[in-house]
Amino acid sequence: MMTPEEEREFKARRRSRNIALGLTLAAFVVLFYLITIARLGG
């Protein structure tokens, strides 16, 4: 069992990891969109 303090730390880390992953995925969506435009233009 986790102490309340550990649980807070657990949630904080999980949250920051999810945000980092979400931003990475969003960046990928933008990158793939731009690559597609660039390849179609070429």
Partner 1 sequence: MTTAASATTRLPTDWRDFVSLTKPRVMSLVVFTGLCGLLAAPGSINPILGFTAILCIAVGAGGAAALNQWWEADLDAGMKRTASRALPQGRMNRTDARDFGIVLSIGSVLVMGLAIHWLAATILALSILYYAVVYTIWLKPRTPQNIVIGGGAGAFPPLIGWIAVTGHITAMPILLFAIIFIWTPPHFWALALFVQTDYAKVGIPMLPVVAGEAVTRRQILFYSIALLPVSLAPWWIGGTGLIYGISALALSGLFLVQALPVAFRRKRGDEDRMKPEKRLFAYSVLYLFALFAALVADRLILGGGLSL
Using CB under 8 A, list all residues that contact partner 1.
2, 6, 9-10, 13-14, 16-17, 20-21, 31, 34-35, 37-39, 41-42
The Cα 4–Cα 35 span in angstroms is 46
Six token digits for residue 9: 């730390």
CB of 11 to partner 1, least distance (A): 9
How far, in whole angstroms, is CA 41 from its chain's centroid?
29
Closer residue to partner 1, CB minimum distance, 10 or 26: 10
CB of 16 to partner 1, least distance (A): 6
